């Protein structure tokens, strides 16, 4: 285990159809032919989410302690995520604390980018190395339908600012959903080429809060790749020293920009997975699809020593699943969604 993803909040300022949809109509997008609705879906039945109360969230000192103990056990890559991590007040303070932990050589954040311009400088100064943005569409209207927010211009501004401030490499993630944004695959790849960044296409996973996931909404990575290949003659990027990398990567022939395919549904890479997750309320998960969570809060708040926390982490890791069970008859979707687990 080398990679720890730390969620700092379960809240989000976006309402992506496939994650935290705004309304019942949006949640059932696959049935309501959402794409035909000109201004997005009518807001008739809003979904009232219940967020975790503040006291249940780990304090920054508590997160720092878990990361320090984990780093002592070999974790060297830490990603701050959420929910939307930039919604948590003073997240740059946490970044600063994590950046100072010996052994953390790679400190990244995943964000929808909307609030990034107001925090970028502080995050850079605090020691954040890299940022991954989520951007599913380059078409403002489609972006709004998918995320429930008029946010494309803000996200683009965030991406360009990240470049100017020297965050490298810049990755942009797009979840591809059949009939929703799969017609934009080539445009999104073109964006990576034009701006010399890494565009990563992610298969839609059964982690949505509305349980609307259906296999035929998943656009397999191989199909995405074939379509991009038809336009550009991509060259594979070999990374034999990084078997645990989630993305299979290709670069454009002129060396500008890169495309990654993350295909956990059609081509699971569980055997190489070296990731652990810490939820905002202090639960450790050994897989995105774990049905069991391991609560560290009683230890952290009950006077346990760092040694006790370390032992618990080792014990938890020993029980890591061999793989997820998507597509198998006994697959059970976890109770918590991507926004709570931390993507």
Q: Which is nearer to ligand SAM, 110 or 181 (CB)?
A: 110
Q: Tell me how far, at minimum, the Cβ of 5 lies from ligand SAM, in Å.
A: 9
Q: For the window 33-72, what string marks contact with ligand SAM as x by the rule CB under 6 A? A: ----------------------------------------
When the beta carbons of 5 and 251 are compared against ligand SAM, the nearer one is 5
- Three-state secondary-structure class, residue 100: coil
Pick the piece of the chain touching ligand SAM (CB under 6 A) from 92-100, 164-172, 202-210, 224-232.
202-210
Residue 343 binding ligand SAM, by CB under 6 A: yes
**Is residue 212 involved in binding ligand SAM (CB under 6 A)?**
no
Is residue 253 packed enough to be buried (19+ CB in 10 Å), middle (13-18) or exposed (0-12)? exposed
Check whether the bond before 304 is cis (ω within 30° of 0).
no
206 closest CA partner among 316, 319, 287: 287
Query: Binding of ligand SAM at residue 207 (CB under 6 A)?
Result: yes
Reduced to 3 states, what is the DSSP secondary structure of residue 218? strand
Residue nearest to ligand SAM (CB): 343
Tell me how far apart the alpha carbons of residues 204 and 299 are, in angstroms, rounded to a whole number. 35
Q: For residue 322, what are its two tokens?
A: 């061999």
Q: Using the rule CB under 6 A, is 210 a contact of ligand SAM? A: no
Locus of tokens 């454009």: 252
Site mask, ligand SAM, residues 275-314, x = CB under 6 A?
Answer: ----------------------------------------
Which of 12, 28, 1 lies closest to 343 in space, CA to CA? 12
Among 17, 131, 205, 225, binds ligand SAM (CB under 6 A): 205
143 CB-near residues (< 8 Å, 6+ apart): 135, 136, 137, 150, 151, 152, 155
Binding of residue 112 to ligand SAM (CB under 6 A): yes
Which residue's CB is nearer to ligand SAM, number 18 or number 30? 18
- Total residues in contact with ligand SAM, by rule CB under 6 A: 20
339: contact with ligand SAM by CB under 6 A: yes
Tell me the angle at which helices 60-72 and 306-318 cross, rounded to the nearest 10 degrees: 70
Q: What one-character DSSP code corresponds to residue 137?
A: -
**Interface positions with ligand SAM (CB under 6 A):** 12, 18-19, 81-82, 84, 110-112, 134, 173, 175, 202, 204-205, 207-208, 338-339, 343
């Amino acid at each position: 285990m080398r990679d720890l993803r730390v969620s700092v909040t379960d809240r989000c300022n976006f309402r992506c159809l496939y994650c935290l949809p705004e309304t019942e109509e949006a949640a059932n997008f696959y049935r309501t032919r959402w794409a035909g609705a000109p201004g997005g879906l009518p807001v008739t039945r809003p979904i009232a989410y219940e967020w975790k109360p503040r006291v249940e969230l780990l304090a920054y000192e508590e997160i720092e302690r878990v990361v320090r103990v984990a780093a002592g056990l070999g974790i060297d890559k830490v990603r701050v995520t959420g929910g939307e991590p930039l919604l948590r007040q003073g997240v740059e303070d946490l970044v600063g604390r994590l950046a100072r932990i010996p052994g953390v050589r790679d400190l990244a954040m995943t964000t929808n980018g909307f609030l990034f311009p107001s925090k970028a400088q502080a995050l850079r100064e605090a020691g954040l190395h890299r940022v991954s943005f989520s951007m599913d569409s380059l078409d403002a209207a489609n972006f709004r339908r998918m995320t429930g927010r008029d946010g494309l211009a803000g996200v683009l501004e965030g991406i360009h600012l990240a470049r100017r401030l020297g965050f490298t490499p810049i990755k942009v993630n797009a979840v591809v959903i059949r009939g929703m944004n799969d017609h934009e695959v080539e445009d999104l790849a073109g964006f990576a080429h034009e701006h010399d960044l890494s565009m990563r296409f992610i298969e839609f996973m059964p982690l949505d809060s509305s349980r609307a996931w259906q296999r035929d909404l998943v656009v397999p990575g191989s199909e995405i790749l074939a379509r991009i290949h038809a336009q550009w003659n991509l060259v594979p990027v070999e990374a034999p020293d990084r078997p645990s990398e989630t993305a299979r990567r290709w670069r454009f022939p002129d060396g500008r920009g890169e495309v990654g395919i993350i295909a956990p549904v059609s081509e699971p890479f569980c055997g190489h997975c070296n990731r652990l997750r810490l939820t905002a309320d202090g639960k450790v998960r050994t897989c995105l699809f774990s049905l069991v969570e391991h609560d560290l809060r009683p230890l952290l708040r009950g006077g346990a020593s760092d040694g006790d926390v370390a032992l618990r982490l080792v014990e938890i890791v020993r029980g890591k699943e061999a793989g997820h069970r998507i597509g198998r008859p006994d697959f059970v979707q976890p109770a918590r969604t991507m926004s709570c687990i931390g993507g």
